[in-house]
Structure 1
Amino acid sequence: MTVDEMTQVRELRADAPVADRARLAPGRDRLVEAALTARRSRVTWGRRSPLMVAAVFVAVTVVVVTATLLVNGHRAGRVSTPATAPGLDLKGMSVPELLEFAARTVEGQPPVAEPRADQWIYAKETQEGDGDADFELEKWLRYDGAKLVSYPRPGADDPGELETTELNLEGLGDEYDDRSPRQLYRFLATLPADGEGTLKALREENALVDDKSLTQAGNDYTEILVLLDAYVQPHAGLAGLYRALATLPGGELVDHLVEDEAGHRAVALRFPVPGREREKHADEWLLDPVTFEVVGQRRIEDGEVVGGNAYVAKAVVDEAGRRP
C-alpha cells in the first residue's frame, strides 16, 4: 500500500468508533478496498451500541446461493437450491441442538487443505445497495494478505481493467484488525472441538480488544462472527465455533427454511446485536441446509429483514483474475 492510500484509509476511519473494527472484518479487505472504491455502496458490519446513532448501515437484500469452498479451482459443492439435510427437522429444535447438528455435519466433511502463501482467494459477492441496482463484486485476495486484485467499478457495464493494490495485511498491526486469510485459517485450526474450550481460546487470543460497554457474551460473539466469515475454514475449527456460539444467550432458530427473492433456501439463526439486545436488532446467519457452511448474513430490525450480503462463490486459484 502506498503512503497516499494509507492516508486515504486513515481519513476514512477518522470518525469511526474504535469498536467498529469487529464488524468490519467480514470481507477482510474491505477497509483497504474502501480507499479505492469509496464511491460505491458497501455493507459494513460494525460493532453497534446505543451511543452509535451516527453509524450508517446500507440496506441490502441477500441473494443466497449455496457457496462451498472451491479448492484449487475445482468445484466442491452444489450451486442449485439445496434440500434439507436428512434427519433435520427445524420445528421444535433448539439453537444448541441445531448448532450441534451443524458442528457434526461439518466435522464429517473432507479436510480443507491450506492454500499456499502465493495462491489467491477468489470471491464473487452479490449486494444490493439502498436505492441502487444489484451488483456483483469480484475480487482476488492473496492468501498471505499481500495483495488485493479487484475491479475499480464493480457492477458497471464496463468495470474497467483489474487493479492491484499492495496490502501487506499481516504487517498492518492491531489497529486495523485485518488479519489475512492465512492468519485466520491457522488460528481456526488451533481451536478445540468443544464450545467452552473454543471460548477460552478466543479470550486468550483476544484478537479484538474487548468493548467495555459489552458483556463477556457480547465480546465473545464479536470474536466468533469475524471467524465465521473467514474465507478458508478448517472444518474442525468451524465446528468449534458453532459449539461456542451455542453457549451464548439470545439465539433464535427460524423453524423453517428461509427464502430470498431468487428462491434459494437456507437455515436461519438469529443472534442479538451486542449492546442492542433490547432494541430488537439481530444478525441472522444463513447456513446451507446440507453442508451447514455459512452462505450469507442478514440484518434484522423489529423482526424484519433490512439488509444483508452473500457470497455467490469462493475458490482457491493459482492466479489473480482466474475463476473456477
Structure 2
Amino acid sequence: MTQVRELRADAPVADRARLAPGRARLVEAALTTKRSRVRWGRRPLVIAAVFVAVTAVVVTATLLAHGHRAGRESPPAVAPGLDLNGMSARELLEYAARTVEEQPSITEPRADQWIYAKETQEGDDDADFELEKWLRYDGAELASYPRPGAEDPGELETTELNLEGLSDEYDDRSPRQMYRFLSTLPADGEGALKALREENALVDDKSLTQAGNDYTELLVLLDAYAQPPKGLAGLYRALATMPGGELVDHLVEDEAGHEAVAVRFPEPGREGEKRADEWLLDPVTFEIVGQRAIEDGEVVGGNAYVVKAVVDEAGRRP
C-alpha cells in the first residue's frame, strides 16, 4: 500500500480511453492522502493497474433483492408505450424516476454482509474482460482474486479498508452511509440538489459552476454501491436539471452485450474538448446497468454490470 501511494504521487493522469469509467471512488477513499474530487476516467494509470479489481459498482434495490442484473437472455424491448425517438433527456429521466420509485423497498443489508459484483470492462487493447469483487457493506473490507477471469484465479485476497473510520480529509462514505443518505433524499430534483449541497461530501471545484459541482456529486451517488429506489428516483430528477443532457434515440449495446437506453451529459469544465459521460439504463426496469465514456462522439471506454447481489461472506456467489 505504501508503495502504491508513492507511485501515485507522481503518476500522470491517464487518458479516458485507457481507463474504463467507474473505478475511481473506492480507490480514492482507500489510497489518497487528501480528499480529492472524484471523476471516472481521470485516475493515474498505475493505480488502475495495481488495483484493477477496484471498480465502482451500482446495486439497486431490485438487484439486491433478486441477485442479478434484472436481465433477459434475449435483447429486451423498450418499456411498452415508450418511444425514444423525439424524447428529451429530461423526459426520459422523469419516466425512469417514476419507474424505479414504484419498486418495493427491501431490507437493508447487514453491516457484515458483502456486495458481490461482476462486471465487464473494455480493456486498453479494446478487448473486454470481466472483474468480480466483494465489498463489505460497512466498508470495512474489500475482497477480490488476483487473476480475475483466469482458469485458476488464485486465492481470494482481502484488504482492510475501514472506510467509515477514515478522517474528514477523505471521502470515506461506505456503501451503508451512502445508502442511508440516499434514503433521505427528496424525490424532486431541486430538493435532491439542495440536499446534496447541504451534505457537501466533495470539496467544490472553484473552477466549475454550481451545476458543474452538482454534477460531480451526482456522479458519485449514481455509482453508489447500494441505492434505495426512491433515492435513485431523486438522483434521476436531479440529473434531469443538469445542462446539456441528450438522449440517444435508439438502444445501444453495452460492454456485456445487452441493449440499454443511453443518456449523455457533457463533462463540466472541459471547454474545447468534446467529452461526455453516458449512463446506460435497462430499457424496462430503468436501473443503471453500465457507463460509457464518449469523446468526439465515439465510445472510448465503458463498463457493464453482469451480476450484482448481497451475499453473506466474501468469495460466495449468488
- Provide TM-score, normalisation by structure 2: 0.83
Q: Which residue of 1 aligns with 2:107?
A: 113
- Which of the numbers 249, 265, 272 marks the counterpart of 1:271? 265
Give the conservation status (yes or no) of the 8 Å contact 2:69–2:305: no
CA distance in 2, matches of 1:73, 1:236: 18
Q: In 2, Cα distance between the equivalents of 1:175 and 1:182?
A: 19
Per the alignment, residue 307 of structure 2 pairs with 313
> 1:319/1:79 Cα in 2 relative to 1: closer, same or farther (>3 Å)?
farther
Match of 1:78 among 71, 88, 91: 71
Q: Residue 283 and residue 277 in structure 1: after superposition, are their counterparts in 2 closer, same or farther (change >3 A)?
A: farther
Residue 189 of structure 1 aligns to which amino acid in structure 2? S
Q: Which residue of 1 aligns with 2:279?
A: 285
Q: 1:289 to 1:232 in 2, by over 3 A?
A: same
Q: 1:104 to 1:10 in 2, by over 3 A?
A: same
Q: Distance in 1 between matches of 2:216 and 2:64?
A: 28
* Letter paired with 1:11: E
Residues 262 and 31 of structure 1: CA distance in aligned 2, closer, same or farther (over 3 Å): closer
Q: CA deviation at 1:280?
A: 1.1
- Measured after TM superposition, the shift of residue 183 of structure 1 is 0.9
CA 1:246 to 1:71, structure 2 compared with 1: closer, same or farther past 3 Å?
Answer: closer
Shift of 1:75: 4.8
Task: Report deviation, 1:92.
Answer: 0.9
1:14 to 9, 14, 28: 9
1:29 Cα shift?
Answer: 3.2
Match of 1:207 in 2: 201
- 1:95 corresponds to: 89
Structure 1 SS opposite 2:216: helix
Instruction: Indicate if the aligned counterparts of 2:140 and 2:161 stay in contact, CA closer than 8 A.
Output: yes
The aligned counterpart of 1:241 is 235
**CA distance 1:251–1:72, change in 2 (3 Å):** closer
Which residue, 19, 25, 45 being the options, matches 2:40?
Answer: 45
Residues of 2 paired with 1:100 and 1:111: CA distance?
20
Fraction of identical pairs, as percent: 79
Distance 1:208 1:16, change over 3 A: farther
* 1:241 positional shift: 0.5
SS of equivalent residue, structure 2 residue 103? coil
Q: In the TM superposition, what are the counterparts of 1:244-259 in structure 2 within 5 Å?
A: 244-259=238-253
Indicate the residue corresponding to 1:194 in structure 2.
Answer: 188
The aligned counterpart of 1:29 is 26
Task: Give deviations 1:139-187, integer Å, cap 9, x for gaps.
Answer: 1100000011110122333221101111101112343324211011011
Structure 2 CA distance for partners of 1:106 and 1:276, relative to 1, 3 Å: same
Cα offset for 1:264?
1.7
- Structure 1, residues 166-222: CA drift from partner, whole Å, max 9, x if none? 110111234332421101101111100100011001011110000111111110001
One-letter amino acid matched to 2:243: P
Offset of residue 223 of structure 1: 0.2
1:70-116 Cα distance to aligned partner (Å, 9 max, x none) = 43665582343321111211111111111100000001111132101
Structure 2: how far apart are the matches of 1:221 and 1:308?
A: 19
Partner amino acid, structure 2, of 1:308: G
1:254–1:268 contact (8 Å) kept in structure 2: yes
Report if aligned partners of 1:124, 1:136 keep a CA contact under 8 Å in 2.
Answer: yes
Instruction: Tell me, yes or no, if the aligned pair for 1:71 and 1:317 is still in contact at 8 Å.
Output: no
Q: Secondary structure at the match of 1:153?
A: coil
In angstroms, what is the RMSD of aligned CA positions?
Answer: 3.0
172 and 25 in structure 1: CA distance in 2 versus 1, 3 angstrom threshold = farther
**Aligned CA distance change for structure 1 residues 179 and 312 (closer, same or farther; 3 Å):** same
Residue 10 of structure 1 and its aligned partner are, at CA, apart by 2.8
Runs (5+) with no aligned partner, structure 1: 36-43, 49-53, 59-65
CA separation in 1, counterparts of 2:256 and 2:111?
36
| Aligned-pair CA distance for 1:260 | 4.0
1:11 is displaced (CA, Å) by 2.1
